[in-house]
Amino acid sequence: MGGWIVIQLLQRGEDPKNIRILDIRPPTRRDLLTGLAARVAFLQVDILDAKAVDDAFQAPWPDYDPSEPTPEVTVFHTAANIRFYERHIALLPRSSKVNYEGTLNVINAARSIGVTVLLYTSSGSVSVRRSRFWLWPWESQPNYFVQVVNDDDNLIPKHHDQFFSNYAASKVLGERAVRAADGTRSGEMTLRTGCIRPGNGIFGPGGDLVCGAYLVRKHNPTWVGDIMQSFIYVENCALAHLCYEARLLETARGGPNPDIGGQAFTVTDPGPPATYSDVHVALTTLDPEVTFTHMSPTLILFVSQIVEVLCLARAFLSMSSSPVGRVLAHLIPNISGDVINLQPSLFALASVHIIFDDSRARSLPEKGGLGYNGPFTTLEGICKTAEEHLKTGGNGEERSASGGISFGFRRLRKAPKEMSKVEKTVSERLHVEAVDVLSLTDTRKTN
């Protein structure tokens, strides 16, 4: 997500020397290693190290003249630990250390240098309710089998066991910290903050856990073909962040539109939501090597319960104060690879219909909205994702390899290869012309 925000900032004309990336590992994407993006400074930082984060924020900017007025600084906080497969509250610290404590470090560091705007990439899943899939004979479907999610904070669960997983629970903590910081002192300025809640599943070139994982793995088991959900293509999501930045900067400068600081906006792709079958058909059409094998959801749910029991048993024994417990922990199989994703929390997120309503974000600024209007539908985003995948010879980002479930059938290509005639034909036939992000962003600034 952060990489695409950088790309769009450059496309709208920002000087690379006025942008910097803070991350635990250097960028690996080609578009961040070439052209203007290659001139963007990178600082390697562990978000859990408060001093390191503060030092990185304090690092001097090139050509900065202290005698000039303090420049406006925007922070896009996109770092997250996406452990969506864990739901037991005892394991919450595994997610909250980055998603909450790390966020507090960013907020404090931002205040120390007088940041003007801090935007947090939250998640639309914070409002997704946990479902129960083992049904009684007289029940026809799980509770919360169909969920319509908008910006209403009343939809957010009040108790931990109502969240679909620890990931959502920890993102709520981070979001509340960011929203509470709105209007507080930031150096000699006032900090303005906000949160973007992307629809279920940010996907796109550069490595994602949905479509990118399908393309990298090639052979994919599935049991959710009929499920309908609101996805969001990564360029749409990045644009939403820039729209919110423009609104907050306008407010900080005394603009006439309603003050929307400290709020959260749900965003998704334009057009009707897609089913997973729509995604499957599109990907198999774009890349004939991609296949989807339909499996029994009941069988997979049963297996997921076993995987969760093994993971919890090993975790609890590892945390035991007894040496015997720690020894027994090593006797339990260590679930690794993408199989660890196969736990009941995956069903609570991917096996229910979730429709995201982003009408408030699409509202005009004078009506308290962002003026957001994503240029790409979900299917157009899938076309762009597959096209970029084929251009790289079928080599996806490492992050994509950790998404989804492969059951050992994953096949990763280790070295680039020349595109086949089929791939070239598909790429040329389905080429999606790039939209001028600069003009889109500038249009929204003048609303």
Question: In angstroms, how far is CA 149 from the centroid of its own chain?
Answer: 17
Mean of the pLDDT values across residues 317-334? 89
Q: What is the per-residue pLDDT for 398?
A: 62
High-pLDDT (> 70) share of the chain, %:
88
Q: What is the per-residue pLDDT for 447?
A: 32
Q: How confident is the model at residue 326 (pLDDT cuts 50, 70, 90)?
A: confident
Q: What is the per-residue pLDDT for 418?
A: 46
Q: What is the per-residue pLDDT for 145?
A: 96
Q: Is the pLDDT at 40 greater than 70, yes or no?
A: yes
Mean of the pLDDT values across residues 388-401? 73
Q: What is the per-residue pLDDT for 412?
A: 41
The packing angle between helices 2-11 and 437-445, to 10°, is 80
Q: What is the per-residue pLDDT for 407?
A: 67
Q: How confident is the model at residue 2 (pLDDT cuts 50, 70, 90)?
A: confident
High-pLDDT (> 90) share of the chain, %:
73
pLDDT per residue as tens digits for the range 401-430: 666 777 654 444 444 444 444 344 433 433
Q: Is the pLDDT at 446 greater than 80, yes or no?
A: no
pLDDT per residue as tens digits for the range 60-79: 888 777 777 778 999 999 99
**Which phi and psi angles does 99 have, rounded to 5°?**
-75, -20
Mean of the pLDDT values across residues 437-447? 30
Q: Is the pLDDT at 1 greater than 80, yes or no?
A: yes
pLDDT per residue as tens digits for the range 163-182: 999 999 999 999 999 999 99
CA distance 322 to 327: 9
Q: What is the per-residue pLDDT for 188?
A: 87
Q: What is the per-residue pLDDT for 275?
A: 96
Q: How confident is the model at residue 437 (pLDDT cuts 50, 70, 90)?
A: very low
> Are the C-beta atoms of residues 276 and 227 closer than 8 Å to each other?
yes
CB atoms within 10 A of CB 74: 20
Q: What is the per-residue pLDDT for 396?
A: 60
Q: What is the per-residue pLDDT for 62?
A: 84
Q: What are the residue ranges spanned by the domains of the chain?
A: 2-445
Cα separations in angstroms, 257 against 18, 254, 386 = 28, 9, 40
| Residue 422 host element (H or E) | helix 421-429
Question: In angstroms, how far is CA 258 from the centroid of its own chain?
Answer: 28
Question: In angstroms, how far is CA 57 from the centroid of its own chain?
Answer: 23
Q: Is the pLDDT at 201 greater than 90, yes or no?
A: no
Q: What is the per-residue pLDDT for 210?
A: 87
Q: What is the per-residue pLDDT for 313?
A: 95
Q: How confident is the model at residue 394 (pLDDT cuts 50, 70, 90)?
A: low
DSSP letters of 235-272? Answer: HHHHHHHHHHHHHHHHHHTT-SSPP-TT-EEEE--SSS
**Tell me, what amino acid is at 220?**
N
pLDDT per residue as tens digits for the range 105-147: 999 999 999 999 999 999 999 999 999 999 999 999 999 999 9
pLDDT per residue as tens digits for the range 203-258: 998 878 889 889 998 999 999 999 999 999 999 999 999 999 999 999 999 999 99
Burial environment of residue 339 by CB neighbours within 10 A (0 to 12, 13 to 18, 19 or more): middle
Q: What is the per-residue pLDDT for 71?
A: 83
Q: Is the pLDDT at 445 greater than 70, yes or no?
A: no
CA distance 75 to 120: 8
Q: What is the per-residue pLDDT for 309?
A: 96
Start-to-end C-alpha separation, the chain: 25
Mean of the pLDDT values across residues 192-210? 90
Which CATH code of 3.60.150.10, 3.30.750.210, 3.40.50.720, 3.40.50.300 fits the domain covering 2-445?
A: 3.40.50.720
Looking at the DSSP bridge assignments, the partners of residue 232 are 202
pLDDT per residue as tens digits for the range 375-393: 999 999 999 999 998 887 7
pLDDT per residue as tens digits for the range 263-315: 999 999 999 999 999 999 999 999 999 999 999 999 999 999 999 999 999 99
Looking at the DSSP bridge assignments, the partners of residue 196 are 121, 265
